[in-house]
Each structure stands twice: as C-alpha cells, then as structure tokens.
Structure 1
C-alpha cells in the first residue's frame, strides 16, 4: 500500500519513470514503463531485479545482442482480425523486421545456454516459451524487397502489369523527347528543358507565350507564372493507360496483402504473445540503461523488513550534481528489529528532508524492480506499505490547514501501520503551537513504535529527542554541521540527537546580538546548555571518528607499504639470482669462445713457426683470463662492469694475437702461388697463378698477364683490407653527405589534407620511404577526420609496407583520429 495518492510526485519517482520511458526503443517499452507499480511480493520483485541485473551484464559485456527494429504492430494486428482487412506495406515491413528481432533475441539466449552454465537464467526463462515465426518471415520476404516495397514477382499479374507500365512509360518518354527536340529546334522550348511530372503525367515545360505552339492539354503553371506544363496530344492516351495500369497495380497489391493477411490471421494470438515478450525486453533494457547511468546495482535482497544501506545516493540529486561536476554526499543508514524508527534532528537546510526522500525513493525503486545506487555490502528488505507525510498539504477546497492535513495523514498512519510498514514523516509535530504539537507528536511516535512500524522521521522538538533516547526501538540521528565554517555537511550520524544551531545561524545571518541574548534568556540556560552539549557531542564524535578513520587509513597504508616492500625484496632477490646465473653463463660462453679462438691463433702461429716463448706467454695470459672470470668478484654488485671489462680485455688480446700472427707469417721478399701482388707504380692488385723462373703469371680479374718477378710488389692481407676500405669510403662519402643532409632536413610530419586519394598515397609513399631511409623510428600523418576516406586509404597502404611496425590514432589531446602515428622498424 502506498499513501498518499501523489506519493510518486512527492519523492520524485515520476522523474525516474520519465528517464526510463526516454530510454525505451518503442511504445512497447513505454507502455510497460507507464504501468510500472509498487510490488510487495518478494518472488516477483526478486525476479524483476535479477532480470534487470542480467541485462546490465549484457549491455556491458555483449556486442551481438539484437537491439534494432522494436516496432509495435499490435494495433495493425488487431485490425486484421476482421475478414477482408490487410496490413499495408509499411506495417508488413515493420512486422517482418520486429519478428526477426524477436527471433534473434530468443536465439541469443538459447545459444548462451551450456550444460555447465546459464549466464542469464532469468532472462532465458522469460524467453523460454516465446514462439518465433520463421515461416512468416520467409513468406514476407517472398513479397517484399529489402526496402519494404512489394516485389515485381510477388504475383504473375503484378509482374505483367509493371512490365506494361514500364513499356508504356518508355514509349511516352520517346514521344516526348521527339516532340521536345522539334520544339527546341523551332525555338519554342529552351535547349536545357527536359520532360517533368505533373499530377502523375509526363509533361513539357513551355514559356506561356509559346503554349499555342504545342498541341495538348495545359495541366499546371509555375508559381511565378513564367512556365506552363503541357501534355502533348500524342501522349494523352498513353498517360491515360498509365493511370489505368496504376489502378490495376494497386488492386493487385491489395489482393496480395489481403491474401497474406488471411494466412497470418490464425497466428495473431501467438504473435501478440511474442510482442509482449518484446515489450518486456524493451522495458528491462531501459531499466538496465538507467541503472548504469546512476551506478545502480542489486544488493543483498531478503524477505524481511530491514534497511541496512551503505553509500546510498539519491539518483535524481546525483544526476543533477553530475551536470555541475559536483559530488553527492552518500548516506549510511540502518533500520533493523532493534532500532526500527530513526528520529533525525539538526539544522534547517542540513539535509534531513533529502535523507528522508532518499530512503523513500530507493525503497520504492527497489520494489518496482529497479536497481538502486548503494554499495554491494548493503542489505535490503521488503515492506508491504510505505506512508509519507512531507511538504505543505494546505487545501483551501477542503478547508484544511497545513497542520490539519498533517493530522489527517497521522490518523491514517496510526490506523493502517503495522510491522511491515515504513513511515516517512518530515517536520514531525510542526505546524501548530510547539508545546501541544510536541506532545501529540510524542504520543503518535509511541503508537508507531508499539505497532513495530519502521520509519524515518525528522523533527526539531526536544521532547521527541528525549523520548527517542529513553525508548527502545527508536534511535536518534543527527545531520552534521560545521560550527567553524557555519555550513551543513549533509552527513547523517546515528546514535545522538542533533542541534538546530538556531543561535549560531541567527548570529551568522546578522541578527542583533541583544536580540539573540534576550531570546537566550527567555528560553532559559538549561535549553541553551543542552543545545551546546549536543553540539559538543557531535563535534567530539566527529573528531574521534575522523581520528579513527585516519588511523585505519594509516594502518592500511602501512600494511600496503610493508607488503609492497616484501614483494620488492623477493623480486629483487629472484632477479639477483637470475642475473648471477645469466652472468656466469655469459662468462662461460665468452671464455669458451675466447679459448677456441686463441687456440686457433696459437695453432696458426705454430704453423708459421712462431717462437715457443710467445706461445707460452699467450697460454699464460689465457689462464689468467680464465681465473679473472671465475673469481668471487663476479658475484658482487659490480658484476656487469667486470664482465664488460673481461669482454674488452678478451677483444684486445684477440686483436693483438691476430695482428702478431699476421705479421709473423707475412714475408714481403718471398712470392708464392696464391699471393696478392701488384705491379710497382700501379694500384691494381692481382693474384699469382704460376711462377715460370723469373716470370710470373698474374690474374687481374678475368685477365691474365706475364710480368717479371722483380717488377712485382707483394701485398699483405691488411694492406688489401685498407685498400678496400679506402675505396669503400671514397664511394660512400658522397652518399653519406647526402644522407646527413636528408636527415637534417627530414620532418617527421606530413600534411595531406585536401589532396585527392592518389595524390595523398603517392606523397605518403615517398614520405615513408624517406623515413625508413634516414632511420626515423616514428612519424605522423595528418589527414584530418572529414569523411574518413583519406584515413582509410593511408592505413590500407601502411598495412602493405614491410618496414611499418605499428600505427594508431594520435592521442585525443593532440589530434585524435585526424592524425595517424606510425612506428617504423
């Protein structure tokens, strides 16, 4: 039971309903939203809440849910119950598309079902007994095209009629063009004039002065009177035939649609049932969208009377402040079987009424099947009745004052409240003389408590605060107020009554101090002191609660830091072991490689008859190299630098050994087959192929030449390398200069806005080639947003370039989708 009749307007639920209606896709869902009512059956509420919760998951996690074509064709279906009636083309097209949507939704839930799990059990159950009509969809596709028009081949007669219409129109067009060409040659009609349509008939536009030049019927003239439209006599009969054929076409279409309606009529009741399901889905979807908008969720919902909410938020206030980029102060409130009635006191404009309306609105929303904005650890219950008394109910027509209206509501509350009722009363006892008003309010509060009713009641009366303090089942609450800043905090504190801060507010407003002093003396020191004590209690409680909260936060922070450091230490230790293992492995690899290379060098030295002492020295250096790698110093924190020194030392030794071995093996005075030589005074280097006494056969590439041995100069391998390096350097020096200049002048951005597609791709091709050539790792292509064509062409090209590693939109602050950032390999 809900009381009074305008309950929804008082708590703002009418605006909630409007939000949901606006999110519906069709009148199907809007009708459901209009009929949404308060429910007191636990199973029904739970089912509706779970359906909405499941749809929230669908909206957040699924992409393929069918959400198109929510059309309401029920009025048209009702009309065809009468024999001889039919659906017109647009209605039939809406029927076909909406039946396709119903089929898609049902199949969506069926395809989600597995043997182990059903992710949407409540919605799947809702879809379980819904009939889909694939045969009707197929039949519709036989007579309608993809645009919803009757197909030419919907029947043989229709196909014949439309062919004749086409042929006749073609003949009319040829005749008109012939007449038009003659008229243009005679100067009767302008050269750029073409036939046009007037009243369904093809005509020729003619200047009024020449209208007698063309025989025919004048059908119309332009608004300015400078053009008349003449139907030549030669095509009048043909146009008449078109009219007849169009009538035949319309009759045949009606016959086709009537025939289809006759086939559809036996299924109308089942189709109605399917549309009821579509209406449910539309409504549930709208509720889910609104839940996401207000951060609503399904807390613990139990079949008992309780209000145990954490971080509850008034949804309309949340939406209003969100537009202003402000935050709502959340509400924590508990009503249970120990403390059923909460008596809230505190200053005016401190949030008492908002608190009361939040409780009423959220409980009403919950029992209408809507998710509510609270924390997940909240616990909710169910009430059979919600009674509210709020605002000025003064009525001139009924001769009721504000207080009389208030007492009328109280009479209804006392007679009808019970242990499954929640009462919401604002400014309890107000509107009359304070002493008797307070006494009546106290007596009423006692009756409500004895009937075990739940409630949230706001008041300023001191006697009610004392009564709540001394009476089991009733608990005081206070809206907090900052005495230093003289402004409300909009926070509810349960356990102690609140002060009205009347004196402080009067002083802040600027009421004369002598007036405040006189008022204080009149009310008495006891009242002033009590009000002061209440303020002190609230202040101290707030102080210690903040202290406790800070201690909890510090402890939590300390635990997080401790855990963080422990994890870091473990990670560092693990990383240290991995680094040491890798370092040892690398050192062994270096040692093995160095050993092999040194042994090869020593073998070469021996083969070149090197001195044994030098070989011994090399082996001794090798042993020292081994010892330097395996010493304990490798495991200290300077490991990376030591390994680097080992690598450098090994490289130095290796280069030195190879140089020495090459110098030892080379003798410039001895020329043998296979040696590199050149003719003294020339630069070309050849290879000795054969020695014939004092003559030597030398191959210079593909050419062979015989030269006296004393005219030759032997070339070492190092000299050959230097010659090659000189040539290579000489060849690439100019190229290197070009590259340096290109790097200096290369810009990492290109602007192709305004270019045609082929021009843009050519410019980007050159740009990417240059970027890869100069070694640039990242470039930006500015193509703008526009229609998106340039962006698409550029990205199609980039996918074909091997040197492109990745590309993406620029950050939204620097251009977003109008710029493509390209990473190059």
Structure 2
C-alpha cells in the first residue's frame, strides 16, 4: 500500500502529505474525486465535505480480504473457547452466585467503612426505643461540601426526651432551620440503614418504627393538589399513623394559606401529635405555635441564633427559648427603604415589635452566657486533665525512685559480699607471703570503711547522698580490681618482705605517637591515621574527616582504617527517591499538538531526558500531521541525542506520520 501511495504521489494523483487510513476495517488511500478513476480499486467511502474519496487499490484487496478472513476465524475461535469454558463453569454456577453475593456484601461493608472514614463517623450505642440525644452532629454532605471550600461547619446539639418529645424550631430565614431538620432526618435514616453517623461518642441514639417527612412543595397539577392541599394531605396521613415510636419532620409547619387560619390549623394538628406522644422536629414562623410550646407539656421551643451586630446567622440551635424571625433587621440589611420598614412596623403594632426585641435580647444574653458556660466547662476539663496527668507522673516518679533505691541497695549488698571474699583472700595471701603488718592493717581498715558506707545507704536517704555513696563504692571496687590485676602481672617475680607490689609502667599521658600511626579515640571503634603531632595535640584523619585531638584521648590499634573509595560511588538516598518518583509518574506518550516550535522542543527535551533516566526502551511523541514543520523540528533534535537509536513513523493503524516512535 505504501508503494502504491508513493507511486501515486510521484504521478501527482495523491497529495504529498497523504497517508493510508482505515475505513470499515480495510486499509484505503485518500484521493481527490477528480483523480479517483486514475487509481484502480474499490471506492469505500468519501469525506463529509466530498473533497476526498477513499479507494482500496486492487493490489491490496486480496490482502484485506485475508485480514477479514482471519478476523472471522478469530471470532469463531473465541466462540469455541467461550463454549468450552461455559461447560467447565456450568457445574459451579451455584457456588459462583454465592461467591458473587458474598463479594457484594463485603464490598457493601467496605463502602460503609470508607464513607465513615471520609465523614469521621462512628457507630454509637443504639437503644431499642426512641432516643435523640446527639452531640456535635454534622450533616455529612454539607460537611464534605464545606470541607472542599476550606470552610468550617457548625455542629448540631439536639436532645429530645420523653417529657419534651417535640421540638418547635423558629428563627430567621436562611438561619439553618431546614438544615437542622434535614440533618436529623438523614442521620436517623442512615443509622437505621446500618451506616455510621458523624456524631460525638457521647451521643445517645435510638430506633423509630416510622420516619414521616413533610419537606418542600408537593403541589401536583396531575392530582389537583395545591401547596396547602398537599401539606394537609401529609398532615392527615401523619395523624393517622403517628405513635410513640414515630419521628415527624415538618418544615414550615402550616404555611401555604392565610396566616391566621393556617396558624390555627397547625396548632390543632400539633395538639394531636402531642396527644399521640409522637416525636418530632418542626420548623415554623408562627407566633401562636411558639406560645403553644411554652404553655404545654411534651413540647419545647428552639431557636436558631442570629448575630444582631454583624447581621449574620450563627447556625447554632439553642433549645428552651423561641427564636425571632428578625424580619425588620433582614429587611433593613437587604436595602428596603426606611419608610417601608416604618410603615410595616406601624401596621404590626408596637407591642409586637417590642416583644420581638425583648425576645432577641433574651436570645442574645442566653447565647453570651452559654458561650461563657462552655468556656468555663472546657477550662475545668482541661484543668482536671492536667491535674490527673501530674498526679500520674508523681506516682510514676515515686514508684521509679523506690525501684531505683531498691536496686541500688541490692547492688551494694552484693558488692559487700564480693568485697568480703576478695579482701579475706588478699589477707590470706599476704600472710602466706609474709607481707608487712601495715599492709594488712590498711586492708582491714578499708574493709570496715566499706561496710560502714554500705550500711549508711537507706531508701529514705536523699538522692544525692545515695549517688555519692554509690560512686565511692564503685571507686573502691575499681581500685581493688586494679591491685588484683597488678598482683597477677607480678606473680612470677620474686618478692621480699617489706617490698610492695609494682604499679603500672605507663599511663595514657606517657604514650607517644608518630606520623602514620594507626590510632583510635578511647571508647570509640572508628580507626584513623595520625597526620601530624604538635606537643600534646595530634591531627588525625578519620575517613574523610580531619580533626585535632589531645594525645591523652588516643590509643594505639593494629586495625587498619576502612577504605572509603566505594562511598564516593554510592547513590544518595535523595537521588534514588527522585529517580523512583520519575519512574512512578512517567508516561510513555507525549502530546505536543497545538504547541509552538520552541515550546514543543522544550517539552520533548525534558521528556527524552526523563525517558533516559528511568530506562525506557521506546516512547511515542504525538505531534500531528499538519504541514510537517513540528515533525521535522522534533526529528532534527532526536537525531542529535546520542542515546536515541532510531526515530520513525508509527504504524498506519495507530496514527502513521502524526506520531514519532523513538527507540533507545
């Protein structure tokens, strides 16, 4: 096909940049309509504009037919394989279905765990009956949305009891009443579906037999229901089925009709809910419902708090007092003219305005003292934790002190026994060697002093006194060991009466060092070589480090310094981590279509460098066909890279001249 294409290009029948393409699974050549009769073959398709005709040359028809036959053979072979495989699998269908169901159950459990981890949810203790005592409850979807925006969420604290099982929530518009209602409904439903919920571990939860919801506008043209009619239909169903294990969630209770009659109907329906001892959370703006909650048992008021100074909602629920709608303040904030606000205030009456202001002041003061109470409570908790921590540390210190003193006394007793044996042996040997009486007397005095020191150690003594006594005991033990060693060294030499045992012949200060000596510092294992000596100081080379050391701190050794030649060829950990990072993030394809020449070359240079770094054998650069300028620039650069062994067009089935394949 390439030969036919090149011949047609040389005769001017096909454009110079034309390449073979696929149509219906057959390789064809794009030809201008005016030239289609100059090339013998089968016309398979034409472009949408009609300016290009795709012809399959006669010479390649047989090859394409062979390809189609092979594809048909492949399909038949696949069918045979699947048929045989089905015969093997068929006896185990029941086991496979069971495994499938088991995997689905496991996947469901894992999904619940992942969602709980994502929302910081827990599995609280669940009571069999209705209980709502939630601390720091969060709406999971709202929390995830705010988390993406780096905004905090205000948690919800809500409690319903058998004495106050219905909560009437009031407050300003956009203050969080509906969110509070939906949080209660969603978390309760999640809990009863077996999901973890984002609440505090101190929360108490229960199970309801029915969860009945009236949220939003349920009007329907098909069922001939208005907004208020749909609400009334929901109220009818709720009153019919409500019981002691029912949770009611009603938003904007009584709205959709004339306020006075709507409020009266809502109050009557609410009275039925109270009689049936149903549990519920209800939002409203009606004053008569707030008064009903204050004057009847089994129901409580709640308010969504609002900051009057900054004119913004706080999204906090306060149970115990009704909330204000803050209609005047919100209207003034939105820019309603003062004249309209004054006229509305006059229509409502001064009594309503004053009572609303008093209510706002009560809510503000309650919010202030609630914050104070929480702050004091938190400080008390922190103080209790600190006191408990210090008491525990004091107890641990006292226990450790007793243990250390006990071990010290045991060591002292052991030293005393050992010293008794050593000194008695020494006295016996001195007598046998007929040593001087003064030496025997001195040894016995040291023994008595040692006994007195050990006997003075008491677990009730001060720590510094114990440390001092133990240090004296250890020094005496070292002196005895030294004398014992000297005696063994001079055991073969003849001794006379009145002659003392010899002392060590040389000390650390008397050692001499010369250039080239192999030394090490006392107490260390690193071996170095003396480079120079100046008085009591010597310059020593430890590996690649040169340092000045006092000769009193050095000692001779026969061990040779380890060679550091291999260290220079070691790859640093940071370099290895960089290479591993490139390997993990490297992709074998680079797309530079739409870039300018210098931008494309810069991208290709970095791409080739990374490919060489991670050890790739082949990569692909997608530059498109166009006029071929980008392709030419990239290949000129690739030919200048020593690591590149070849660069060629991709196979026609995978992009042809629009892609360059680079081999290393």
**Structure 1 residue 470: Cα displacement:** 1.8
Match of 1:619 among 440, 444, 451: 444
Say whether the 8 Å CA contact 1:608–1:665 is kept in structure 2. Answer: no
- 1:755-766 to structure 2, matched below 5 A, reads 766=566
Tell me which residue corresponds to 1:584. Answer: 409
Equivalent position to 2:579, from 786, 794, 815: 786
SS at 1:618's partner residue? helix
Find out whether 1:745 has 2:512 as its counterpart.
Answer: no
CA 769–648 in structure 1, closer or farther in 2 if over 3 Å, else same = farther
Please report how far the alpha carbon of residue 353 of structure 1 lies from its aligned counterpart in structure 2 after TM superposition. 1.1
CA offsets per residue over residues 517-574 of structure 1, 9 Å max, x none?
6655554443233223323433444444445445544554454444434433432332
Matched, 1:346 2:171: yes
1:477 maps onto 2:308 in alignment: no
- Distance (whole Å) between structure 1 residues aligned to residue 438 and residue 91 of structure 2: 113
- Between the aligned partners of 2:439 and 2:583, the Cα distance in structure 1 is 71
What is the DSSP-based 3-state SS (H/G/I as helix, E as strand, rest coil) of the residue aligned with 1:737? strand
Q: CA deviation at 1:388?
A: 1.6
Q: Which of 373, 379, 392 is equivalent to 2:205?
A: 379
Q: Is the 8 A contact 2:242 2:273 kept in 1?
A: no
Deviation at 1:273, TM superposition (A): 6.4
TM-score in terms of structure 2 length = 0.59
Unaligned residue ranges in structure 2 (runs of 5+): 1-21, 28-40, 43-51, 497-501, 521-527, 532-538, 548-561, 585-664
Check conservation: 2:192, 2:207, Cα contact below 8 A: no
Deviations 1:502-523 (A, max 9, x none): 4444566677778766655554
* Match of residue 323, structure 1, among 148, 169, 175: 148
Partners of 1:365 and 1:372 within 8 A in 2: yes
2:111 to 271, 286, 292: 286
2:236 to 383, 405, 414: 414
> Which protein is richer in helix relative to its size?
1
Q: Which residue of 2 aligns with 1:642?
A: 469
How many angstroms apart in 2 are the aligned matches of 1:633 and 1:247?
A: 99
Where do 1:504-543 residues align within 5 Å? Answer: 504-505=329-330, 520=345, 522-543=347-368
Among candidates 388, 403, 410, match of residue 214 of structure 2: 388
Q: SS of the residue aligned with 2:306? A: strand
Aligned to 2:186: 361
In structure 2, what is the equivalent of residue 491 of structure 1?
316
Contiguous gaps of at least 5 residues in structure 1? 1-197, 204-216, 670-715, 748-761, 771-778, 792-825
- Alignment-derived partner of residue 282 in structure 2: 457
Quick check: 2:515–2:530 contact (8 Å CA) kept in 1?
no
Measure how far apart 1:261 and its partner are. Answer: 4.2
Q: Deviations over 1:357-395 (max 9, x none)?
A: 11232334345554433345422322435232325x678
Tell me: CA distance 1:356–1:763, structure 2 relative to 1, closer, same or farther (3 Å). farther
Q: Is the 8 A contact 2:212 2:238 kept in 1?
A: no
Identify which range, 314-323 or 779-788, moves more after superposition: 779-788
Match of 1:439 in 2: 264
TM-aligned CA distance change 1:789 to 1:589, over 3 Å? farther
Shift of 1:491: 1.8
1:463-498 residue CA offsets vs partner (Å, 9 max, x unmatched): 221122223333211112344544332221222211
Spell out the pairing of 1:30-41 with structure 2 (5 A cutoff): none
Aligned to 2:518: 732
Q: Distance in 2 between matches of 1:497 and 1:479?
A: 9
Number of matched pairs: 496
Q: Judging changes above 3 Å, is the alpha-carbon distance between structure 1 residues 783 and 600 closer, same or farther for their aligned structure 2 residues? A: farther
Partners of 2:161 and 2:319 in 1: CA distance: 13
Quickly say closer, same or farther: Cα 1:562–1:451, change in 2 above 3 A. Answer: closer
CA contact (8 A) 2:517 2:529 kept: no
- Structure 1 Cα separation of the partners of residues 102 and 230 of structure 2: 43
Deviations 1:562-621 (A, max 9, x none): 443443343233222221222122223444455555555555655665431243133223
Q: How far did 1:314 drift?
A: 0.9
Deviation per residue, 1:56-113 (Å, 9 max, x gap): xxxxxxxxxxxxxxxxxxxxxxxxxxxxxxxxxxxxxxxxxxxxxxxxxxxxxxxxxx
SS in 2 for 1:628: helix
Question: Corresponding residue for 1:310?
Answer: 135
Q: 1:597 to 1:525 in 2, by over 3 A?
A: same
Query: CA–CA distance in 2 between the matches of 1:580 and 1:373?
Result: 51
**In 2, are the aligned partners of 1:478 and 1:496 still within 8 Å (CA)?**
yes
Task: Report the Cα offset of residue 405 of structure 1.
Answer: 1.0
C-alpha separation in 2, matches of 1:763 and 1:467: 92
3-state SS of paired residue (1:786):
helix
Is the CA contact 1:309–1:378 (under 8 Å) kept in the aligned structure 2?
yes
C-alpha distance in 1 between matches for 2:563 and 2:345: 86
TM-score by length of 1: 0.49
Q: How does 1:419-434 map to 2 (within 5 A)?
A: 419-420=242-243, 422-430=247-255, 433-434=258-259
Q: Distance in 2 between matches of 1:337 and 1:650?
A: 79
Q: Is the 8 A contact 1:387 1:413 kept in 2?
A: no
**Structure 1 pair 723–390 and aligned structure 2 pair: CA distance change class (3 A):** closer
Give the secondary structure class of the aligned counterpart of 2:323: coil
> 2: distance between equivalents of 1:790 and 1:431?
65
- Structure 2 vs 1, CA of residues 730 and 365 (structure 1 numbering), >3 Å: closer, same or farther? closer
Separation (CA, whole Å) in 2 of partners of 1:349 and 1:245: 69
Q: CA–CA distance in 2 between the matches of 1:723 and 1:350?
A: 85
Matches of residues 113-262 of structure 1 in structure 2 within 5 Å? 254-255=79-80, 257-258=82-83, 261=86
Match of residue 405 from structure 1? 227
Check the 8 A contact 1:343/1:457 in 2, yes or no. yes
Q: State the alpha-carbon separation in 1 of the partners of residues 261 and 484 from structure 2.
A: 115
- 1-structure distance, mates of 2:485, 2:99: 90
Q: Out of 393, 397, 400, which is 1:572 matched to?
A: 397
Q: Helix, strand or coil: the match of 1:477?
A: strand
Contact kept, 8 Å, 2:227 with 2:256, in 1: the verdict is: no
Query: For the structure 1 residues 659 and 459, does the alpha-carbon distance in structure 2 shift closer, same or farther, using more than 3 Å as the test?
Result: same
